[in-house]
Structure 1
Amino acid sequence: MDLPVIDLLVFIIYLAAILFFGISFYFKKGRTTDDYMVGGQKLPSWAIGMSIFATFVSSISFLALPGKAYLSNWNSFVFSLSIPFAALVAVKFFVPLYRSIQSQSAYYYLEERFGSWARNYASICYLLTQLARMGTILYLLALPTNALLGWDISSIIIFTGVFVIIYAAMGGIEAVIWTDAIQGIVLISGALACLVIILISMPDGPGQIIEVGQEFDKFSLGSFGADLTRETFWVIFIYGLFINLQNFGIDQNYVQRYMSARTEKEAKKSTWMGSLLYIPVSLLFFMIGTALFAYYYVQPGLLPENLQDITEADRIFPYFIVTELPKGITGLLIASIFAAGMSTISTSINSSSTVILTDFFKTYSKRKVSSKTEFRVLATAGVIMGVLSILVSLAMTSVKSALDAWWALSSVFSGGVLGLFLLGFFSRKIKQIEAGIAVIIGILVIAWMSMTPVFLTSDEWISFRNPLHTNLTIVIGTTVIFLTGFLLHLLSRGKNKALN
């Protein structure tokens, strides 16, 4: 599909501006590795807050949330409602903790509690999770871009990956945060423009969206029942709470932002800003999805036959962007989609290179490392992680089941680390061996819950499959690790008392 020249110009100018702006930080005089990893702890809270928000919102959110609202209702919005509770825990416990340990790595704390094995385990899990994350986002970003621009999917993946690698690897956290701030503004502007255009395009006015939405129960937040096998309100809320505790508590992406602020107070302010901003913006995406449903319901002739099927919900928003938006606005929306994807990928590249330097290179280097060497390691690590994520994404173009496999592995990694962190944070008495056994048991539970629905598909295996909703995997796995660690400690203490 050929874009009008003005839309293509808007898109190209935006990408070029982001690239040159990000690279400009590389040429900053007197730049240190501290600047590269935490911005010299002098970045303003509003920019960090926008960066946290942009990290929350990927291209998946930009396209999948309207798709979900179009297909069903606002049940998934409940995820956003859990964010303030996780943010409260973050500003009360996580931000002060990480600001006090004086390390750029989120996993230094685990080494202090349980030894080097815990730090290595968490760091490796984080890097593998980031590869899955970046590869998935690159792949899913390429699908709508292919529909919007008609470009080859593999070419889009390579182009986007190389583009982000250049400014993220060269510019460091300063480039990431400032470009995130710009991209967050572009993203919000594009989504707002889209909703306004739908509202004024309704044949009987904006109120028609509410009427159609109520008729089809589009504003429902889901069942409030206790069924743990379906996406009820409570299943999504609890899942969101644990996922966001993971984000705020153990995700290097967020921890580096805590460290980038001038003071602890500003770090807390940016955490509140970034997390709370996501709630109305995610609501905006859901409203777009419902508005699109109403728009095409009252004007079914506007949809081509291949999109009449409700299961094609994820393709509706891209189609609307290309066919219904005014010239120039289409280019802005495509730029917004790229902005959402690039902000997440650039964050992962920067945080991964920081983990590689602090948790592996500097920890195991037997000689004093110069600042020049640190810079070289950071840049090289960023490029390597970026290239690997491109390869992961390219693999997904031919092996579609890789998506489910990667997400299942991500669940295994993140659940185990979150449980270990909470175990160390809430008890100073848990021993290394007790924590290690708890993690092993927890990972086995998480692997069973996440893998069996994917690989045990025949009826004779039904009794061995996880009966709970897949969103509860991280909840159950984390809880198992936490409780197992305490139980082992109590048993050990009881045994010692008996021997005495």
Structure 2
Amino acid sequence: MNTAHLHILDYGIIAAFLFITVYFGFRFSKGQKSTQSYFAANGKIPSWAIGLSILSTLISSITFLAYPGEGYSSNWILLVQGLMVPIVLLTMIWFIVPLYRKVIGLSTYEYFEKRFGSFARYYSSLGFVLTHFSKMGTVFFLLSLALANMSGVNTLVIIGVIGVVIIILALLGGIEAVIWLDVIQGFMLFGCGVACLIILIYSIHGGATEAWHIAKANGRTGFGPYDFDFKKLTFIVMAINGIFYGVQKYGTDQTIVQRYLTAKSDRSAIRASLMGVFLLVPVWALFMLIGTALFVYYKQNPIPAGIRPDAVFPYFIVNSLPTGVVGLIIASLVSAAVCSLGADLNCLAAVGVEDYYKRFYPNKTDKEYLKAGKWIVVLAGIGALLIAALYLSAGDEGVLGIVFTLYAIFSGGISGIFLLGLFSARANRQGVTIGILACIIFTAYAFLTSTQIGSGHYKSLLLNLGKYNFNQNKLMLGVYSHLVVIIVGYVGSLFFPKPDIDKKLLYSGWLHVKRNSDISKQ
């Protein structure tokens, strides 16, 4: 991609944002005196701020770059997953929020232990840690490549500078600084996205009407293919995957569940969650439509050859937008990454302290646990920077392979464990342990028999079992892993005694409490 050096005004805007980010870290550092304030803001954040924080946490440079890239090169099928999330959330958020706010301290995975024992807790928390390290490395990687192409600055320098800023923010300001910076970032991202789409539409000869005709004629609209086929990327594959994505993200992901704990009340946390997800879908759609508009624009104004789809939006920003606007948009791109990664560091530290450090070093003071959490923030941040640096040497294909490996192997079945724990009073520790082991075996089989190594004519499967190879779309691997845990875990539980469960850990228990409450109000 051709690089264009930024104007000094653009550099000034970007530097100003980085300064504001560091300021937020110092601004909120005085209040970080306990683990509750550092990880949960003492439950004093208003719902609207938490909602914007949830939005910002789920948006990163992946959204800013990958969604326009997909809209440019394909249709809107990847939006289907996001469209399923509100449906899942509306059915589950009413009891998930009160559940977590009543039964856990800080770690989401404390629920897993109370329901199914320590193995389930360690399996699910380790899955969170590894998958979020993979995500953080990917965000750093994509951001650094985009900024290097737009500014001409060395990629490793970009990784280092932004990494230090993120570590300072998370280290000093805790979750409260991250949330309030998220609020700013949410407005910046949405505003810049709308501005870019409007500029694109007005730059297209014939306007929105002509853009729609050209996009439709070239297969850049719609959510198909609509075949009932699990072997390729279809609407049904994305819809099913979206259901489990919604359950895993809002029911088992520390970055979201920790937000529930920062709210003043159950009702406030529920409002925040609904606000976050109903803003998230329009933002995803906005950046997908930017990609569609980019396709039409460069159909009329041919783009130089050799530019990857995920690099088209940065190319447009640098070469087609005026000075100052470029700086604001790049600052929004950086902001998306900073907020997402800052939240990840804080949540990784919360899991590290609650699930591991307290186990190895019980009976320490809260001040010592806080100190350990801050050390984990620093170490996790350095680890993410190293992963991003490794991605640079691996290349695009290597990055995707690493990310998929971590997600497939270490995240498999977590939604299944959660659903069993919530809805089945018969499921027990022994049965779910068997289900998790079966899931690990299945995931290893599916990954090894569907993943190729090598290049060109020398590609080969990691494990070739002929007609017994896993031949479904890779997104279905995650779906099947959850189903394996649910089915095997439930059947396995039948061979062991029915567990004695605290009713508040079950959906039926929440429903019973709610009915009694409704009756008492009559």
Give the structure-2-normalised TM-score: 0.89
User: Does the 8 Å CA contact 1:411/1:450 hold for their aligned counterparts?
Assistant: yes
Residue identity in the other structure for 2:491? L
Secondary structure of the structure 1 residue equivalent to 2:98: helix
Q: Post-superposition shift, 1:394?
A: 1.1
State the distance in 1 between where 2:493 and 2:117 align: 17
1:394 and 2:397 aligned:
no
Partner of 2:377: 382
Partner of 1:363: 359
Indicate how the Cα distance of structure 1 residues 286 and 462 shifts in structure 2: closer, same or farther if over 3 A, else same. farther
User: Does the 8 Å CA contact 2:81/2:245 hold for their aligned counterparts?
Assistant: no
- Choose between structure 1 and 2: higher helix proportion: 1
RMSD: 1.8
1:463 and 2:458 aligned:
no
Secondary structure of the structure 2 residue equivalent to 1:82: helix
Deviating more after overlay: 82-91 vs 479-488? 82-91
Partner of 1:335: 331
Q: Post-superposition shift, 1:151?
A: 1.6
- The partner residue of 2:404 within 407, 423, 431 is 407
User: Does the 8 Å CA contact 1:83/1:276 hold for their aligned counterparts?
Assistant: no
- CA deviation profile, 1:430-470 (whole Å, cap 9, x unmatched): 22221111101012112222343224753765534321001
State the distance in 2 between where 1:7 and 1:228 align: 46
Aligned residues: 486
State the distance in 1 between where 2:45 and 2:11 align: 33
1:348 and 2:348 aligned:
no
1:420 and 2:417 aligned:
yes
Partner of 2:517: none
1:304 and 2:336 aligned:
no
- CA deviation profile, 1:55-96 (whole Å, cap 9, x unmatched): 111111111111111101111111121111221244123112
Residue identity in the other structure for 1:62? F
State the distance in 2 between where 1:324 and 1:382 align: 39
Q: Post-superposition shift, 1:180?
A: 1.2
Fraction of identical pairs, as percent: 35
Partner of 2:219: 217
Residue identity in the other structure for 1:121? Y
Partner of 1:497: none
State the distance in 1 between where 2:154 and 2:17 align: 21
Q: Post-superposition shift, 1:279?
A: 1.0
The 5-angstrom pairing of residues 50-449 of structure 1 reads: 50-300=52-302, 303-307=303-307, 312-367=308-363, 369-400=364-395, 401-449=398-446
Indicate how the Cα distance of structure 1 residues 248 and 197 shifts in structure 2: closer, same or farther if over 3 A, else same. same
User: Does the 8 Å CA contact 1:239/1:475 hold for their aligned counterparts?
Assistant: yes
Give 5+ residue unaligned stretches, structure 2: 454-458, 499-522
State the distance in 2 between where 1:372 and 1:107 align: 22
User: Does the 8 Å CA contact 1:396/1:403 hold for their aligned counterparts?
Assistant: no
State the distance in 2 between where 1:46 and 1:451 align: 44
Residue identity in the other structure for 1:373? E
State the distance in 2 between where 1:135 and 1:416 align: 23
Residue identity in the other structure for 2:14? F
Deviating more after overlay: 392-401 vs 344-353? 392-401
Residue identity in the other structure for 2:391? M
User: Does the 8 Å CA contact 1:408/1:451 hold for their aligned counterparts?
Assistant: no
User: Does the 8 Å CA contact 2:34/2:366 hold for their aligned counterparts?
Assistant: yes
State the distance in 1 between where 2:478 and 2:376 align: 29
- CA deviation profile, 1:382-417 (whole Å, cap 9, x unmatched): 111111111111111112325412322222222232
Partner of 1:498: none
Indicate how the Cα distance of structure 1 residues 381 and 476 shifts in structure 2: closer, same or farther if over 3 A, else same. same
